[in-house]
Structure 1
Amino acid sequence: MANMSQIKRGLENQLAELQARLARIAEDLAEPLNPDSSEQAVEMEDDASLQGQGALITREIASVERALARIDQGSYGECVRCGGDIAPERLEARPEAALCIACARREQH
């Protein structure tokens, strides 16, 4: 597994990318609707999709911020539910993971 400073840098880069994506969505949503009513319907559907994407990105941002906080607190890699270790392979795939695989599976069911 990468060292903690590499993990932190990767999470900070991921956070910056997510924040930039969220800003672009906010800009798109701020654009006024086209005065043509048929175009408005399409734009409103697009806006609804963008709002959904924005909500997902907002949740991802919160996950990454919590992972960065766990690094600062020295608890990164510990499951927030059971306190056990999160497998290095899981952290490699999802550096923001807060749950070990067993707790994540329990949460899904």
Structure 2
Amino acid sequence: MTKIAERKAALLERLQELDERIHHIEEELDEPVSKDWEDRSVEREEDEVLETMGVTSQAEIRMIQAALERIEADEYGFCVKCGVEILPARLDVLPYTPFCKNCAV
């Protein structure tokens, strides 16, 4: 398996994980609220955390989908801003990054 095929498989696996997380968050947010005021206050705080996790997950999903599109277009691994090859070590850490180290700053 080539390095790009390995990265694609990892991206697809992460996409599945994020999809499951978002569905779990949606289920928790759809649960009925407590009638007790104090419990409702705690639930609201938990909902805010869940909503933030959902927004973060959705942003990561968009970045992964864009990376998968770059793989399909044979443009993966090259900076979308300057065109230079993205270092493999950077892609190991951020496999969906569209930018080289210099352009990411």
Query: Shared fold by TM > 0.5?
Result: yes
The residue aligned with 2:100 is 100
The residue aligned with 2:74 is 74
Count how many residue pairs are aligned between Structure 1 and Structure 2: 104
The residue aligned with 2:52 is 52
**Counterpart of 1:39 in structure 2: which amino acid?**
D
Deviant stretches of 4+, over 6 Å: none
Structure 2 segments unaligned to the other structure (5+ residues): none
1:13-59 CA-to-partner distances (Å, cap 9, x unmatched) read 01000111111111110111111111001001110111111100100
Shift of 1:82: 1.1
Aligned-pair identity (%): 37
Please report the TM-score for the alignment, with normalisation by the length of structure 1: 0.92
Please report the TM-score for the alignment, with normalisation by the length of structure 2: 0.95
Does residue 28 (structure 1) correspond to residue 28 (structure 2)? The answer is: yes
**Counterpart of 1:99 in structure 2: which amino acid?**
F
- What's the RMSD between the two structures over aligned residues? 0.9
Structure 1 segments unaligned to the other structure (5+ residues): none
The residue aligned with 2:8 is 8
